[in-house]
Amino acid sequence: MTKDDFLSELRSALSGNVSAAVINDNIGYYENFINTEIRKGATEEEVLAGLGNPRLIAKTVIDTADKSDRRNVAADDADNENDDNDARIFGSESNIMPWWMILIIIFGIMIVIYIAVNVAIVILPVFIAAAIAYFIVRLFKKR
């Protein structure tokens, strides 16, 4: 069995029993674990033999999964039937911010820039006058 076979079997055993997030977390964990052990010098066969049967691992994950997570499986299955792009954009597990949050952030940045420019307009003449006064005082102190 190869790493890809192991991960594929684990994914199929978990599919329909736990949410997509739990599946992705576990696939990511085991893929990272296998790669790390291989980098340490173990062969792929040794690592996979040490892990055991992916179906047994899946059974353990399913048995220990949160009950609310198992209830969300039906909702995840319904989402998977929709177009994948729509699920990524509009789904609850989306990493994309809603449009209104992006507008709020842009508006906030514009306000910060506006305040900074106005503060600079007020402070810059005072700073220039203070710098000129400082150099004049230093000039007269040296004499």
Tokens of residue 125, six digits: 């003449």
Q: How many residues does the chain have?
A: 143
Domain that holds residue 20: 3-95
Question: Are both 82 and 141 inside the same structural domain?
Answer: no
Residues 51, 56: Cα–Cα separation, whole Å: 10
Residue 92: per-residue pLDDT: 47
DSSP 15: B
Cβ atoms of 104 and 53 closer than 8 Å: no
**46 vs 94, residue with greater confidence:** 46
Identify any residues that bridge with 18 across adjacent strands, giving them in sequence order.
Answer: 15
What angle separates helix 44-51 from helix 20-39, to the nearest 10 degrees? 130
Residue 88: per-residue pLDDT: 47
Question: Are both 90 and 102 inside the same structural domain?
Answer: no
Tokens of residue 87, six digits: 């699920």
Question: Are both 81 and 104 inside the same structural domain?
Answer: no
Residue 142: per-residue pLDDT: 77
Tokens of residue 71, six digits: 């209830």
Cβ atoms of 70 and 18 closer than 8 Å: yes
Question: Are both 83 and 19 inside the same structural domain?
Answer: yes
Residue 80: per-residue pLDDT: 54
| Residue 65: Cβ within 10 Å count | 18
Question: Are both 29 and 70 inside the same structural domain?
Answer: yes
Q: Count the domains in the chain.
A: 2
- pTM of the predicted model as reported, rounded to 2 decimal places: 0.48
Question: Are both 7 and 72 inside the same structural domain?
Answer: yes
Among 95, 115, 133, the domain boundary falls at 95
Question: Are both 24 and 89 inside the same structural domain?
Answer: yes
Question: Are both 63 and 28 inside the same structural domain?
Answer: yes
Question: Are both 142 and 121 inside the same structural domain?
Answer: yes
pLDDT digits (tens, 9 = 90+) for 60-102: 999 988 665 655 555 555 555 554 545 444 444 456 778 899 9
